Amino acid sequence: MPAEFSRTRRVGEQIQRDLAELIRSEIRDPRLGMVTVNHVKVSRDMSHARVYVTMLGEQEDRDVSLSILNKMAGYLRGQIGKRMKIRMIPELKFFYDESIDRGARIESLLKGVAPADKAEDDPEDS
CATH number at residue 47: 3.30.300.20
pLDDT of residue 57: 83
Asked whether residue 9 is assigned to any structural domain, the reply reads: yes
Asked whether residue 109 is assigned to any structural domain, the reply reads: no
Q: Residue 38: pLDDT above 90? A: yes
0.95 cut: is pTM over it?
no
DSSP per-residue codes, the chain: -HHHHHHHHHHHHHHHHHHHHHHHHT---TT---EEEEEEEE-TTSSEEEEEEEESS-HHHHHHHHHHHHHTHHHHHHHHHHH---S-PPEEEEEE-THHHHHHHHHHHHHHHHHHHHHHHHHHH-
Asked whether residue 111 is assigned to any structural domain, the reply reads: no
Asked whether residue 56 is assigned to any structural domain, the reply reads: yes
Domain hosting 93: range is: 2-98
Domain count, the chain: 1
Asked whether residue 120 is assigned to any structural domain, the reply reads: no
pLDDT of residue 7: 87
Asked whether residue 121 is assigned to any structural domain, the reply reads: no
Asked whether residue 70 is assigned to any structural domain, the reply reads: yes
Q: Residue 16: pLDDT above 90? A: yes
Greater confidence (106 vs 121) lies with 106
Asked whether residue 57 is assigned to any structural domain, the reply reads: yes
Confidence of residue 59 (pLDDT cuts 50, 70, 90): confident
